[in-house]
Amino acid sequence: MIMKNFFRIITLSIAFLLSYNCSNSSDWDVNNSSVGAPQNSATVYTDSQITEMVKKDALKYFWDFAQSNSKLARERYHTDNPSDDANTVTTGGSGFGLMTILVGIKNGYVSQADAVSRLTTALDFLQTANRFHGAWPHWINGTNGNVLPFSTMDNGGDLVETAFLAQGLICVREYFKSSTNAAELALAQKADDLWKGIEWSWYTKGENTLYWHWSPNYDFQMNMKLQGFDETLITYILAAASPNYSIEKSVYQNGWARNGGIKTSGSQFGIPLVVNHNGANGTVGPMFWSHYSFLGLDPRGLSDEYVNYGDVTKNHAKIMYEYCVRNPKSWQGYNSKSWGLTASYSRNPDGTTGYSAHQPNNDLGIISPTAAISNMPYTPTESMDFLRFLYNENYSKYIGIAGPYDAYSIQYNWVTPRYLAIDQGTIAPMVENSQTQFLWKLFMNATDVRQGLIKLGFHSTTYGF
């Protein structure tokens, strides 16, 4: 039975198919080096050069290819058809983009003044964009701020995408809040106001759980509870941290933690699963479940009364790696250098491009680069091996104008020259967190975030609470 959170993957797959008309295939023969191929593909880079390159490359998606009016993240960018959905802004992907731009500022990839101007434009747009009890929709029209329905009933507030955005807003606030520059202080205040206006408690329906959607036309008819383990943990953390619309601990316990049902004693390849992965049938789900909530939320030494999230995320990554190396389906190209399954573009049986939530129980022979790269804090050696495979061995095949392409298959000699915000958006933050813990420190040291975590019964050996 498909779990409720997979409804979104199915919906997105259908939306992509309808939007793109897959008879107009985006497939690119990896032997054709004329499409976005760099000229220095024979260069051998050092590890430090590669990690700098991949962070810079990922930033390009949110800087060079942002939606032109709002300066927020486009849902997707297709090098084979750049005009596709040029004005479709993604809320969650924009949150990842805010954090990616902060990485760019920190490392000098963009000037602070230019970044402040860009971020101010983006936050001004968010102030006037459609909101539904404080929550933004999944997709926004970047030209006017109006909701773009994700599906018929998904035409209102999307609390999970809003949480991903709020995670970025809090990091922006924390980065600039002590500045002596007026524009930077104003930016921090805008971020704080936007975050504080989200009505998290509304999305409980008065029950002891959070719900994903509310629509002015369809109310709570989508009826999708947020239950662990998947990508939605950050929603509960921020709902508890909210100074104006906070939830009680019982909402977290009954909703996310399933009153302890989130725990499992199961294991795979001798590695404890720690948590039940929604709909994964005794194995792990797609890697983005251990990425999206943890761009700001530092899992190291972080535990509630049920599980340790450092173990959850690290073991998720280790099991995914081990699955790909063992390669039970005998796909060509799965090995210790080429691994990682997550939701991304995918190859349809007829050779056209679709979308799928790749994971061990939905393994289609497709590698999604963001999976292994964004695992850098959890599997640094294995992730670095993958980056060398991309940048030193297959630059002209798999690296394009905004970094690694979204998906490839050696089995089918296939790669799609396309990008998705939610996939590119986890790369720079997680690589940076692995190196300096930059975004983790910003987020975890925020007073309201810490209070929310403590309210829910969390302890952190890393941050001393």
pLDDT the model gives residue 20: 37
Gap between the Cα atoms of 436 and 5, Å rounded: 32
- CA angle 143/148/152 to nearest 5° reads 165
pLDDT the model gives residue 18: 37
Is 400 in a helix, a strand, or coil? strand
Nearest to 53 by CA among 433, 403, 426, 427: 403
CATH fold, domain 23-460, is: Glycosyltransferase (1.50.10)
pLDDT the model gives residue 43: 82
CA distances 207 to 171, 204, 251, 340, 452, Å, are 30, 5, 7, 37, 19
Helix pair 159-176, 91-106: axis angle to 10 deg:
20
pLDDT digits (tens, 9 = 90+) for 176-193: 999 999 999 999 999 999
CA-based Rg of the chain, rounded to a whole angstrom? 20
Residue that the structure tokens 């509960």 belong to = 236
CA torsion sign, 156 to 157 to 160 to 164? positive
Among left, alpha and beta (phi > 0; psi -120 to 50; other), residue 7 is alpha
pLDDT digits (tens, 9 = 90+) for 319-331: 999 999 999 999 9
pLDDT digits (tens, 9 = 90+) for 133-146: 999 999 999 999 99
User: CB neighbours (10 Å) of residue 302?
Assistant: 23
Q: What's the whole-model pTM score?
A: 0.93
pLDDT digits (tens, 9 = 90+) for 251-275: 999 999 999 999 999 999 999 999 9
User: CB neighbours (10 Å) of residue 57?
Assistant: 19
pLDDT the model gives residue 225: 98
pLDDT digits (tens, 9 = 90+) for 13-55: 434 433 333 333 333 333 333 333 344 556 899 999 999 999 9
| C-beta separation of 418 from 406 below 8 A | yes
pLDDT digits (tens, 9 = 90+) for 348-367: 999 999 999 999 999 999 99
pLDDT digits (tens, 9 = 90+) for 282-331: 999 999 999 999 999 999 999 999 999 999 999 999 999 999 999 999 99
Gap between the Cα atoms of 120 and 23, Å rounded: 40
End-to-end, the C-alpha distance of the chain in Å comes to 39
pLDDT the model gives residue 22: 35
Bridge-based pairing of strands 399-400 and 403-404 is antiparallel
Mean pLDDT for 85-103 is: 98
What residues form DSSP beta bridges with 398?
none
